[in-house]
A and B are shown apart, each in its own frame.
Chain A
Amino acid sequence: MSENSIALIFACPLFGAVLCTFLGGAKRALCHPVAVVSLGGALWGGIETLRRVVASESHEISYLLGGWTLDSYPRGVGIEFRADLLGTLIMLVVIGVAFLVALYSKLTVSEETPEKEGPFYTLFLLQVTGLAGICLTGDAFNLYVLIEVAALTGYGLIAMGSARAAAATFNYVILGTIGASFYLLGVGYLYMKTGTLNMVGIQEVIVQQDLADSATMQVAFVFIGLGILIKMAFFPFHAWLPNAYSHAPTSTSCLLAPLVTKVMIYVMIRMTLTVFGVDFSFEETLWTKLLPWLVVVAIVCAATMALAQRDLKKMLTYLIVAEVGYMVGGVWIYNYYGLVGSIFHVISDACMTLCLFLGAGIILRKVGTSHFDGLKGLFRRMPLTMTGFFVGGFSIIGLPPTCGFFSKWYLITGGMLAERWEYVVALLFSTMVMVVLFFRLIERIHLAVKESGEEFGHGHGDLDLPENETRFDEAPLSMLIPLLLSAAVVLLIGIYNQDVVNLVESFLEPLNLPKGTDR
């Protein structure tokens, strides 16, 4: 069983998806347990895989489908699944997040998209399969297919919401297709030059045939990079994201918002570090010079736009765009610590975004709106929910000991060591914006200020809210427990950040990235 743990990661959700399709008609109620159980199986497989990867000597294990071998040169016939530390970590995050969202989704799915449990969970599980596949595949073309699998199911999941969501989905389809097609085009050029599609094979050929100064490689790099930037909603290409995620059904946005952009960041890291190789990506292209400045623009603009929002979910989506800027910057400042920060931020941002979206979903369900006005005095009604939500907010701001502090710490450290001060300043600026954003929320949730404006010192007695709005009215357990679990994960990843960072470091160590400390 243990050798096939990688297969389990895909088999469980895939099988669950098929099952959900059939159950969708008569036995709709069974879909939710099926989804939870199959994701539980996948989670077990993921943990087992991570254990095996850590235990193995080279810190990677290869899994070949259909009995193909990789003996030929260039390596590339047969579809390889390669679990190295980076991919396995992100995959585990994907499945973990999906598991929590599946737990959480029971009520929201049956309320928001009644009688569609079957299709919903089918798409949900396929989405997870696609995202987990992206993390583990060792084949550049296969990556394209899996990106599209994730995207197509994502379109479906989002469009299940209101009519407004469908309109947003259309934009997402157009931009998503452009992004994926650019990626495909880049892979074509890559294949043209190297004659293989296997990621390790491509890297081997680039090194052996010294393709670094080839114009074709540059074209391939630009197309692939551009495609991925569109897919991850990097600032000028972000237009699809806010509407799609804020109008999607609750469970959908809880699943997609933490994962899709982060997984695409992973793809970027994978492509730059292990496919094109560190030397080519950072030394031979202009991106190292150019992108940090674009990142600065991206972070500043996205943070400012988040500031202008009056709707909780909309605001959170702009935060995602800003966070994407953090991570892209962490990669392209070309520093060891920047990359550690970037990868760690992928993990921690997934957890804290999940935490926030789960909280926002509960608010939406209880209050009926996610507009800021509806938040007034919510702390009294649901202290536990709001505490979980605040933990996510503190993490986004970067307060210790949440994981957000540590990822920001590494990013700032990397920026300083690489002497990209503009990036450091942008990070600090956005941190300030986050402080304003979240304490503005906390103020509403906690204070519920009376507008009568009493004189200082006499604000005693109770608030002037109607009785039913101050009553203790906590979220249902099926939603509350995943939220609190995700808040606990945010704290635990922060507290045990050293263990995660050690794994990331043993992945990055052989790559000989500049550390910037040898001044």
Chain B
Amino acid sequence: MEVIQDTRPLIALLAPFVGVVGIVWAGEKRANLRETITLLTGIFQASVVLSMIPLVLADNVIEFHVWQIFTNVPLLLRVDGFGITFAAVASVLWIATSLYSIGYMRGLHEHAQTRFYTFFAISMSATMGVAFSANLLTIYFFYEMLSVSTFPLVTHMQNKEARTGGRTYLSYLLFTSLCLLLPALSWCYVWLDGGAVTMDFLADTGKISFFSSHTQLVLLLLFTFGFAKAGLMPVHSWLPNAMVAPTPVSALLHAVAVVKVGVFCVIRVYSDVFGIDLLRGLDGERIMIWIACATILISSLIALSQDNLKRRLAFSTIGQLGYVVLGATLATKQGMGGAVLHIAMHACGKITLFFCAGAIFVASGKKYVSQLRGLGRKMPFTMGAFLIGSLSVIGLPPLGGFISKWYLALGALDGGYFWVVVVLLVSSMLNVFYLLPVAVTAFFRDRDEEEDEDGKGMKEAPWQCVIPLTCTALGCFGLFFFSDVLLQLAGLGH
């Protein structure tokens, strides 16, 4: 493995900030210019990220040293296979979301759109930062930045519900990160002599074995629940509450960026701080598997009972995040790889579903599953995409979701946890039960007569909404057929 010094990680990180300057400068008065700038920033960022993929595929890592935090801990950006997978997914989907936001925000005549685009861009910068972090402290910096910069987005509506949602959102995320994560980090920082630890993912893997196994377990728990963005039960309730945000925010941030940052951090800690070998030897590691499995099943059951479409999707997300954490806790190579893959696959599927939910809301003002009867005929593209997204999340071939679930199952068998495979199967069944009825209702149930009255003028959502969701739906197919690159990046390639 070769280390290349390059500024590209930093450019990807700072591009949104340059964009923010343009966005604020353009302001509400020049809305077209503002949104063009957003789109261009997204395209620029994605192309920078994608341009690094060939280098990483050739078994290099790209590093950029920003500044020295402590004597031995720098703010270091490093691009490796895992990081770039996540960064590429997030930045490409940002382009789609930017386009989608235009349709959504204009369609609903939202207020304070400049603020919306500004904080959206800052959140993306923080996401890139997490993806490219080379040590625990760097990751913590960007993690906190993401928590704070998404707050104005979650509370965008500025009504009572937004206030309640925002409170839950922040209190969960900040309490866990400040009270669980920060002590765990400090503890790790001083674990040997102050000089020996760099908290670096490459250099310090497994050094944690210095502690007794009880302490290791405590640290594992502190880290797993400290990164509450991973949505593991019982620190999951911020996510359904964050659904008060406008749908583009729910789509990109609360199905892709924020939650994936959480599981990304968890995987980082599991694979690069503890290390697979150490994790396997740890007595209490089974506890984590149980918690992950419980999260998967319970959240799926809750999702069944939700009538609000966005809330149903939120609980579905919690369950899917459970898969990722489960893959990491299995402590096998294929489990880890499956977890990484699932970040990408689920991102593509779930963002499609959210786009559709938003498009339905823009076009018809409906947000409950029971109101969707007959909508499939009015909005064929949207509901078609919704069906594809559902199938991908459920994990049927030839869609992306199948591959990641396959590797997760392989990882479980590899680790000797047969019952985990059963859990995976049962939860897939539950996925079918809570996702498919939405599409079925839309396509095959006829509308009531009085509903027909107010649905007269209803038609497909604005084109800015339909194009992105069609693209992401096609992406679900694409990920299945062109999964080689991802497999290789996730360390599963040949």
**Which of these binds chain B: A38-46, A132-140, A448-456?**
A448-456
Give the docked Cα–Cα distance between A424 and B158 (Å). Answer: 36
Residue from A412, A435, A457 within 8 A of B157 (CB atoms): A457
Asked whether A398 is an interface residue with its Cβ less than 8 Å from the other chain, the reply is yes
Q: Mark B120-164, 1 if CB is under 8 A from A, else 0.
A: 000000000000000000001100110010011001011111110
B157 & A456 in contact (Cβ 8 Å cutoff): yes
Please give the distance in Å from A234's CB to the nearest CB on chain B. Answer: 24
Most buried by B among A400, A442, A461: A400
The answer, yes or no, to whether B4 is at the interface (CB within 8 Å) is no
Q: B141 to A401, Cβ gap below 8 A? A: yes
Is B367's beta carbon under 8 Å from chain A? yes
A380 to chain B, nearest CB (A): 9
**For residue B155, which residue of chain A has the nearest CB?**
A447
Distance of B134 from chain A, by nearest CB (Å): 16
Query: B429 on the interface (CB 8 Å rule)?
Result: no
* CB atoms of B192 and A517 under 8 A apart: yes
The answer on a CB contact under 8 Å between B167 and A412 is no
Q: Is the CB of A498 within 8 A of B70?
A: yes
Q: Which residues of B contact A518 (CB under 8 A)?
A: 193
A435 and B175 form a contact (CB under 8 A): yes
A310 at the binding interface (Cβ < 8 Å): no
Number of chain A residues close to chain B: CB under 8 A: 47
For the complex formed, measure the closest distance between the CB of A432 and the CB atoms of chain B, giving whole angstroms: 6
The answer on a CB contact under 8 Å between B189 and A413 is: yes
Q: Which of B82-90, B105-113, B251-259 contacts A (4 or more CB under 8 A)?
A: B105-113
Residues on A with beta carbons closer than 8 Å to the beta carbon of B68: 498
Contact A400 B367 (CB under 8 A): no
Please provide the chain B residues from 87 to 120 with a CB less than 8 Å away from any CB of chain A in the complex.
Answer: 108-111
Contact of B186 among A413, A450, A517 (CB under 8 A): A413
- Asked if A191 is an interface residue, CB under 8 A from chain B, the answer is no
- Chain A residues with Cβ below 8 Å from B171 are 435-436, 439
The smallest beta-carbon distance between A379 and chain B, in angstroms, is 9
Is B178 on the interface with A (CB-CB < 8 A)? yes
In the complex the two chains form, is A498's CB within 8 Å of B71's CB?
A: yes
Are B183 and A439 within 8 A (Cβ)? no
Assuming the A-B contacts A428-B179, A495-B67, A498-B71, are A439 and B170 also in contact, with contact meaning beta carbons closer than 8 angstroms in the complex? yes
Q: Quote the shortest CB–CB distance from A388 to chain B (angstroms).
A: 15
- Min Cβ gap A428→B in Å is 5
- B324 part of interface (Cβ distance < 8 Å): no
Contacts of B187 in A (CB 8 A): 416
A463 sits at the interface (CB 8 A): yes
Complex CA gap A516/B192 in Å reads 10
Docked Cα-Cα span, A515 to B194, in Å, equals: 9
Quick one: CB contact mask for B53-93 with A, threshold 8 Å, 1 for yes?
Answer: 00000000000000111110000000000000000000000
Interface presence of A399 (CB below 8 A): yes
Expressed in whole angstroms, the minimum distance between the Cβ of B367 and any Cβ of chain A is 6
Contact B175 A412 (CB under 8 A): no
User: Is A59 among interface residues, defined by CB-CB distance under 8 A?
Assistant: no
Instruction: Verify if B182 is at the interface (C-beta below 8 Å from A).
Output: yes
Residues of A near B160 (CB, < 8 A) are: 449-451, 453-454
Q: Of A399, A442, A517, which one neighbours B194 at CB under 8 angstroms?
A: A517
CA–CA, A263 to B193, complex, Å? 32
* CB–CB B174/A400 < 8 A: no
Q: From residue A151, how far is it (CB to closest CB) to chain B in Å? A: 36
- Residue ID in chain A nearest B361 by CB atoms: A457
For the complex formed, measure the closest distance between the CB of A89 and the CB atoms of chain B, giving whole angstroms.
18
Q: Are B141 and A413 neighbours in the complex by a CB distance under 8 Å? A: no
Q: Do B192 and A398 touch across chains, with their CB atoms under 8 A apart?
A: no
Residue in B148, B162, B186, B190 whose CB lies within 8 Å of A394 = B148
Specify which chain A residues have a CB less than 8 angstroms from the CB of B186 in the assembled complex: 409, 412-413, 416
Whether B327 sits at the interface, judged by CB under 8 Å, is no
CA of A472 to CA of B159, assembled, Å: 21
Partner of A431 from the list B67, B163, B178 (CB cut-off 8 Å) is B178
Q: B244 interface residue, CB < 8 Å from A?
A: yes
Partner of A450, one of B152, B158, B167: B158
A397: interface (CB < 8 Å): yes
Point out the residue from B67, B70, B167, B175 that lies within 8 Å of A443, measured CB to CB.
Answer: B167
Residues of B near A432 (CB, < 8 A) are: 175, 178-179
Give CA–CA (A431, B171) in the complex, Å: 12
- Residue ID in chain A nearest B75 by CB atoms: A401
Task: Bits for A393-434, please: 1 = Cβ < 8 Å to B, else 0.
Answer: 010011111000000110011001100000010001001100
Chain B nearest CB: distance from A384 CB in Å? 12
Residues of A487-519 whose CB lies within 8 A of B: 495, 497-498, 501-502, 515-518
- The reply to whether A417 and B367 contact each other, CB–CB distance below 8 Å, is no
Does A57 make an interface contact (CB < 8 A)? no
Query: What 1/0 mask marks residues of chain B from 35 to 64 whose CB sits below 8 Å from any chain A CB?
Result: 000000000000000000000000000000
Interface assignment of A466: CB less than 8 Å from any CB of chain B: no
- Which chain B positions have C-beta within 8 A of A416? 183, 186-187, 190
Q: B248 — which chain A residues lie within 8 A by C-beta?
A: none
CB distance from A227 to the nearest CB of B (A): 33
Q: Are B183 and A435 in contact (CB under 8 A)?
A: no
Residues of A close to B170: CB separation below 8 A: 435, 439
Is B389 in the interface zone, CB < 8 Å from A?
no
Q: Residue A462 at the B interface, CB < 8 A?
A: yes
Report Cα–Cα, A518/B195, bound state, in Å: 12
Chain B residue nearest in CB terms to A505: B71
Chain B residues contacting A67 (CB-CB under 8 Å) are none
Chain B residues within 8 Å of A417, by CB:
190
Measured in the bound complex, the distance between the Cα atoms of B148 and A439 in whole Å is: 10
Contacts of A462 in B (CB 8 A): 111
Tell me which of B163, B174, B178, B367 contacts A449 (CB under 8 A).
B163
For residue B159, which residue of chain A has the nearest CB?
A459
**B110, B160, B162, B167: most-surrounded residue (chain A CB, <10 A):** B160
User: Which chain A positions have C-beta within 8 A of B157?
Assistant: 456-457, 459
Give chain B interface residues in 182-208, CB to chain A under 8 Å: 182-183, 186-187, 189-190, 192-194
User: Which among A432, A435, A436, A453 has the greatest number of chain B C-beta atoms within 10 A?
Assistant: A435
Q: Decide if B67 touches A447 in the complex (CB within 8 Å).
A: no
CB pair A459–B162 under 8 Å, yes or no, is yes
Give the Cβ gap from A310 to chain B, nearest Cβ, in Å: 18
B471 CB, nearest partner CB in chain A, Å: 25
B166 at the interface (CB under 8 A from A): yes
Q: How far is the CB of B346 from chain A (nearest CB, A)?
A: 25
Distance A78 CA – B392 CA, assembled complex (angstroms):
84
Contact A428 B183, beta carbon cutoff 8 Å: yes
Chain A residues near B194 (CB, 8 Å)? 337, 515, 517
- Residues in A neighbouring B159, C-beta threshold 8 A: 449-450, 453-454, 456, 459
**Contacts A428-B183, A498-B69 known; A447 to B162 CB distance under 8 Å?**
yes
Which residue of chain A lies nearest to B195 when distances are taken between CB atoms in the complex? A517
Query: Which of A401, A498, A517 contacts B190, CB < 8 Å?
Result: A517
A447 touches B158 (CB 8 A): yes
Cα-based distance from A450 to B155 in the complex (angstroms): 13
- A415→B396 CA distance, assembly (Å): 52
Q: Please, how many angstroms separate the alpha-carbon atoms of A516 and B110 in the complex?
A: 56
Cβ contacts under 8 Å, B367 to chain A:
457
State A456–B151 Cα separation when bound (angstroms).
Answer: 17
In the assembled complex, which residues on chain A have CB atoms less than 8 Å from the CB atom of B69? 497-498
**B182: chain A residues within 8 A (beta carbon):** 398, 408-409, 412, 428, 431
A314 to B68, CA, bound (A): 37
A450 partner residues in chain B, CB cutoff 8 A: 158-160
Q: Does A28 contact B (CB under 8 A)?
A: no
B215 to chain A, nearest CB (A): 12
What are 12 A-B contacts defined by CB distance under 8 Å? Answer: A398-B178, A398-B182, A400-B141, A409-B182, A413-B186, A417-B190, A432-B179, A442-B151, A443-B163, A457-B157, A461-B109, A495-B67
Q: For the A-B complex with A417-B190, A435-B178, A498-B68 known, give 15 more contacts whose Cβ atoms are closer than 8 Å.
A: A412-B183, A413-B190, A428-B182, A431-B182, A449-B163, A450-B160, A454-B159, A456-B157, A457-B157, A460-B109, A460-B111, A462-B111, A463-B111, A515-B194, A518-B193
* Nearest 9 A/B pairs, CB to CB: A459-B157, A459-B159, A400-B141, A453-B160, A456-B161, A413-B186, A412-B186, A428-B179, A454-B159
